[in-house]
């Protein structure tokens, strides 16, 4: 699987699953262009004008010390949901660990493969390899927001993980629980389509996770980032 790109058409989803506009938005030029250059600025803009800076430079760099705390907690084969340019998948590959990235953006998948990882261009809500057998599922860099419905995403992650498997989530460093509509913008007029997103702090994630079948939350922080480990 390593070093190969597999591109799949987005398939129809059952009622209540995140819709296609979210995938189209992440394929918009501002995001892909930022990945190609490896630098921002890039933001998520809320409808009220609030901006969330996106750390493109960090995403496109090699795994850092905070990422190392995530990698150290990975068990068995690893599925990285919303892998972006693939720094975590590539780092796991260099360690000889089986890992697969999933991202809806072709440029992100291409970069993952270019750096030595394996990746699929597919939504997490599409059929994926080895469902129910992943030792660790990752939702890093705010990817708990994918689809704008954390409960649905956590339930999907539970179906992907093996019995007793782990879910590692990066959460907001503040106590927040919000569902919003956002656009990807580059600060120079480039903007993508609106799509649903979510932000959760530790307390909100723990509440959502319990309802989705995840238990035994362990929290930690590193380099100003906050993480939670859950157990299926």
What's the pLDDT score for residue 1? 37
Instruction: Give the containing element (helix H, strand E) for 21.
Output: helix 20-26
* SS3 state at 151: helix
* pLDDT tens, residue by residue, 72-108: 999 999 999 999 999 999 999 999 999 999 999 999 9
Structure-block tokens of residue 89: 């998948």
| Helices of type H across 54-105 | 56-60, 65-71, 87-94
Residue 95: what are its φ and ψ, rounded to 5°?
-85, 0
- The CATH number of domain 63-178+196-231, selected from 3.40.50.11610, 3.30.420.40, 3.40.190.10, 3.40.50.150: 3.40.50.150
Domain boundaries in the chain?
Answer: 63-178+196-231
pLDDT in tens, 162-210: 999 999 999 999 999 999 999 999 988 899 999 999 999 999 999 999 9
What is this structure's pTM?
A: 0.88
CA distance between the termini of the chain = 26
């Amino acid at each position: 699987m390593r070093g190969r790109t597999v591109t799949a058409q987005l398939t129809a989803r059952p009622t209540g699953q995140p819709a296609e506009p979210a995938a189209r938005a992440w394929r918009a030029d501002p995001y892909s262009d930022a990945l190609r250059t490896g630098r921002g600025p890039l933001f998520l803009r809320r409808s009220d004008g609030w901006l969330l800076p996106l750390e493109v430079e960090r995403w496109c760099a090699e795994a850092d010390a905070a990422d190392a705390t995530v990698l150290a907690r990975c068990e068995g084969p690893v599925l990285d949901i919303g892998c972006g340019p693939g720094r975590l998948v590539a780092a796991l590959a260099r360690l000889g660990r089986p890992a697969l990235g999933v991202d809806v953006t072709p440029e992100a998948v291409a970069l993952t493969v270019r750096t030595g990882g394996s990746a699929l261009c597919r939504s997490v809500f599409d059929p994926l390899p080895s469902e129910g057998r992943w030792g660790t599922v990752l939702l890093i860099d705010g990817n708990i927001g994918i689809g704008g419905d954390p409960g649905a995403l956590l339930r999907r992650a539970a179906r992907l993980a093996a019995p007793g498997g782990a879910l590692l989530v990066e959460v907001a460093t503040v106590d927040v629980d919000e569902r919003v509509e956002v656009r990807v913008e580059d600060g120079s007029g480039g903007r993508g389509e609106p799509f649903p997103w979510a932000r959760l702090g530790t307390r909100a994630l723990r509440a959502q996770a319990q309802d989705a079948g995840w238990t035994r939350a362990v929290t930690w922080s590193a380099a100003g980032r906050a993480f939670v480990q859950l157990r299926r």
